[in-house]
Amino acid sequence: MEELINITKTPEEINLLSPLTWAYIGDCVYEIYIRTNLVNTTKLKPHAMHMKAIEKVKAHSQAETLKKIYDILTEEERDIVRRGRNAENHHVPKNSNVQEYSYATAFEALIGYLYLTKNTKRLKEILEITVD
């Protein structure tokens, strides 16, 4: 995968990106992780895998996952989460409330930030916790 995706921004440029940009890419990274995990660990048909994936990637589940991992985050990671949670987002999905959605955005921002900064070891640690 590393050969396939070429992140060209410097760490300084990544730090200056909007937390919503981190969340944008984090949403994709988390969904592909969940879907890949389902392919690797189940024998479900595609529709059933899709339904299970939706359960994991919806705002409520992501907000709960953030609560589950918060105590193991570093101060830098907590700052990323705080910035993601406080990002002004004018969109709230119909199946979520504002607080839940802001925590889901914070989780996605953390995943996106770790991905963009190529902190793959830490990203993998956090992602593995999410599927337990």
Is the pLDDT at 3 greater than 70? The verdict is no
H or E stretch covering 34? helix 19-41
pLDDT in tens, 70-116: 999 999 999 999 999 999 876 767 777 888 999 999 999 999 999 99
Spatial separation of the C-alpha atoms in residues 42 and 95, rounded to whole Å: 27
Burial 1-31 (b: 16+ CB within 10 A, else e): eeeeeeeeeeeeebeebebbbbbebbbebbb
pLDDT in tens, 24-79: 999 999 999 999 999 999 999 999 999 999 999 999 999 999 999 999 999 999 99
Q: Which residue has better confidence, 4 or 25?
A: 25
Give residue 98's pLDDT. Answer: 83
Give residue 89's pLDDT. Answer: 74
**Nearest in space to 123 (alpha carbons), one of 42, 32, 38:** 32
Tally of CB atoms within 10 A around 32: 12
33 contacts 65 by C-beta, under 8 angstroms: no
Distance from chain centroid for Cα 7: 17
pLDDT band, residue 2 (cuts 50/70/90): low
Give residue 4's pLDDT. Answer: 65
Three-state SS string over 60-109 comes to HHHHHHHHHHHHHCCHHHHHHHHHHHHCCCCCCCCCCCHHHHHHHHHHHH
Residues designated as active site = 27
Backbone phi, psi, residue 92, to 5°: -130, 125
